[in-house]
Amino acid sequence: MSFYARLAVPLLFALPTFAAPTLPPDLGPLTLFDELKALPSEWTKASGNASESKLNVKIGLKQSNIQGLEQRLLEVATPGNADYGNWLSKEEIDSYVAPSAVNVALVKTWLALYGITDVTSPTSDWLAFSAPVSTMEALLGTQYDFYTHPSRKGAIPRTTQYSVPLLLHDVIDLVTPTTAFYRNLAPQKSVAAPESKRRTKRQSCTGTTITPKCLYQLYNVTYTSKGSQTVATTELIEVGAVHSDYASFAKQFSISSTLADFTDVSVSGGSNPGTSADEGTLEGNLDTQYMGAIARTFVKNQFLALGPSGESDQDFEDELANLASYLTSTSSPPSVVSTSYGGEEQAFSSSYMTRVCNEFMKAGSAGISVFFSSGDGGVGGNGEPSCNNGFYPVWPAVCPYSTAVGGTMFSSGKEVVANAQTSSGTFTPGGGFSNTFSTPSYQSSQVSKYITYLNGKYNGLYNAKGRGFPDISLASVNYQIVDGGSVEGVLGTSASSPTWAALVSLLNDYRHSQGKATLGFLNPLLYSATTGLNDITSGSNSGCNSKGFSATTGWDPASGLGSINFGKFLSNV
């Protein structure tokens, strides 16, 4: 195969003078397909020969009619439309996304040329296989290296650009893992001391210490779950959730006397590492505990342990893709799912983000509400020191088919944009405008109002035509959880996202009792709601030595549309 070996020059365009290799049967020359312009900040090359590693590879095949699905989704997700809530069956979704048999065969032929024949199809529009890095280097005309980041253990094999045969450019959306770099947004422990159970009980809820009971008070949750829904949070990058911590939390903090345990669900070979988690259990415990406690008792509370898992394989980007394909392939998906992981948009290529966002579009079309936290470093992404080259939007919150959740706090009884000290800096919620996704129609009037309000401020640092995020917010500071057997106060949009998702599961439960479908893709409903949202108008999401975006009347990138008044919001559904 030396004929197809990596070309020693950058392949900006396939120059005819290079005698670029032509692959039988006429797949055309290997031609640059995807390129990361710069290494994401603080990532560096690590030592070692990446060629000797093995990779779990996925190829996203171009979906036949994704625009058709997008249009159909807007119809079924827009309140007032005759088809509102008529979510699509798996077969209907497949009719929009399944690639042609000819295209699938073409890609398999290409892979077979490199000896890759053991190929599976998790859904019709993905191919999966495992291969040594050296094979992938030949296949993609690239070189993988090990890269590492100060915030993570170990190094991962990645590349900054890759090629595929010209004829397959219209057949393939992406090959992964390749150019996606990821750094986790972890929840932080609050600086404020955790409250004891007795003190919390005696105090009236002012919002300075958050418990499930207090959230019900703050957000006027007047409804009691009938237990019809399945809800889910997610395990990624080997962060566990602990059953005994959950039981202890339930005993001390749950609203009803009993809280059924959460269920571990393995997706793509993942497993809940529990107490042996490399990356701790703070996030997993927070997510499972608040999802369960807010959704209430007999509700099925799933912890989706996402694979692939393995030592050099903390592959956030693959796990996200696996989450989406699980949601659209399983026979009994949760009606809401919340994920408190993300990374700076600059760290992912646009082809990767576009394709995985399309997967969340598929989940929304199936009637599933998909929530992501908006980040904890304000306009500075994961805590960048400087925004001279622009603000740092957070992926996947920027995906227009996710519902992005920001964070608030209570100051003298008033709900404002969160701004709190952590052991490692300041927490303010991520928010801004995507550089990849343009403003979707459901939010265009609110976003353009805010751009007008900015009146030129920050010009050049953000994309005025981008998808604005977050969509909504909720309390995010000093949540009481049980971690490692003891009560801890934690903060971050990692807290507000599962809580919002759990509240939506209560709305779904109510709708179920009325014989109605789930709320599914939520954003068109949120942006058209005329009651039930508490507008947040104070504070800003500072970051990287900038004040960030200020909250104001209506939607803003510091707080989205605001938090919820559940009792009033019920009248929208």
Ligand X SMILES: *[C@@H]1O[C@H](CO)[C@@H](O)[C@H](O)[C@H]1NC(C)=O
Question: Amino acid identity, residue 307?
Answer: G
- Our finding on whether 224 is near ligand X (CB under 6 A) is no
Question: 266: which 2 tokens?
Answer: 């393995």
Q: Which is nearer to ligand X, 5 or 191 (CB)?
A: 5
Kindly compute the dihedral angle of the four CA atoms of residues 208, 301, 394, 553, in this order, to the nearest 10 degrees.
-50
Residues β-bridged to residue 373: 405
Among 25, 68, 154, 567, indicate the residue that binds ligand X (CB under 6 A): 567
Q: Which is nearer to ligand X, 22 or 565 (CB)?
A: 565
Stretch that binds ligand X, among 4-12, 25-33, 157-165, 560-568 (CB under 6 A): 560-568
- Our finding on whether 49 is near ligand X (CB under 6 A) is yes
- Our finding on whether 220 is near ligand X (CB under 6 A) is yes
| Alpha-carbon distance values, 548 to 159, 381, 557 (Å) | 33, 11, 9
Asked if residue 34 lies in contact with residue 351, where contact means CB atoms within 8 angstroms, the answer is yes
The answer to the question of whether 237 is labelled as a binding residue is: no
The answer to the question of whether 484 is labelled as a binding residue is: no
Q: Which is nearer to ligand X, 115 or 567 (CB)?
A: 567
Site for ligand X, residues 125 to 154, rule: CB under 6 A:
134
Q: Which is nearer to ligand X, 458 or 569 (CB)?
A: 569
* Listed residue (477, 488, 478) closest to 248, CA to CA: 488
Asked if residue 489 lies in contact with residue 189, where contact means CB atoms within 8 angstroms, the answer is yes
Alpha-carbon distance of 436 to 67, in angstroms, equals 17
Asked if residue 161 lies in contact with residue 146, where contact means CB atoms within 8 angstroms, the answer is no
Among 152, 568, 572, 573, indicate the residue that binds ligand X (CB under 6 A): 568
- Indicate which residue of 94, 125, 245, 287 is catalytic: 287
Alpha-carbon distance of 481 to 552, in angstroms, equals 32
Q: Which is nearer to ligand X, 54 or 152 (CB)?
A: 54
Which residue's CB comes closest to ligand X? 567
- Our finding on whether 65 is near ligand X (CB under 6 A) is no
The answer to the question of whether 315 is labelled as a binding residue is: no
Stretch that binds ligand X, among 44-52, 176-184, 322-330, 423-431 (CB under 6 A): 44-52
Q: Which is nearer to ligand X, 5 or 193 (CB)?
A: 5
Asked if residue 216 lies in contact with residue 502, where contact means CB atoms within 8 angstroms, the answer is no
User: What is the DSSP secondary structure assignment for residue 59, as one 8-state letter?
Assistant: E
- Indicate which residue of 235, 283, 313, 471 is catalytic: 283
283 is catalytic: yes
- Our finding on whether 531 is near ligand X (CB under 6 A) is no
- Our finding on whether 51 is near ligand X (CB under 6 A) is yes
Alpha-carbon distance of 172 to 162, in angstroms, equals 13
Q: How far apart are the first and last CA of the chain?
A: 60
Shortest Cβ 223–ligand X spacing (Å): 8
Alpha-carbon distance of 116 to 127, in angstroms, equals 11
- Residues written for the chain: 573
Among 103, 124, 565, 572, indicate the residue that binds ligand X (CB under 6 A): 565
Shortest Cβ 138–ligand X spacing (Å): 11
Coarse DSSP helix, strand, coil percentages of the chain, rounded to the nearest 5 percent: 30, 25, 45
Q: Which is nearer to ligand X, 547 or 568 (CB)?
A: 568
The answer to the question of whether 536 is labelled as a binding residue is: yes
Alpha-carbon distance of 493 to 340, in angstroms, equals 7
287 is catalytic: yes
Shortest Cβ 134–ligand X spacing (Å): 5
Number of residues in contact with ligand X, rule: CB under 6 A?
A: 9
Q: Is the peptide bond before 24 cis (omega within 30 degrees of 0)?
A: no
Shortest Cβ 567–ligand X spacing (Å): 2
- Indicate which residue of 309, 369, 476, 494 is catalytic: 494
Q: Active-site residues: which are they?
A: 283, 287, 494
Q: Which residues bind ligand X (CB under 6 A)?
A: 49, 51-52, 134, 220, 222, 565, 567-568
Binding residues for Ca(2+): 535-536, 554, 556
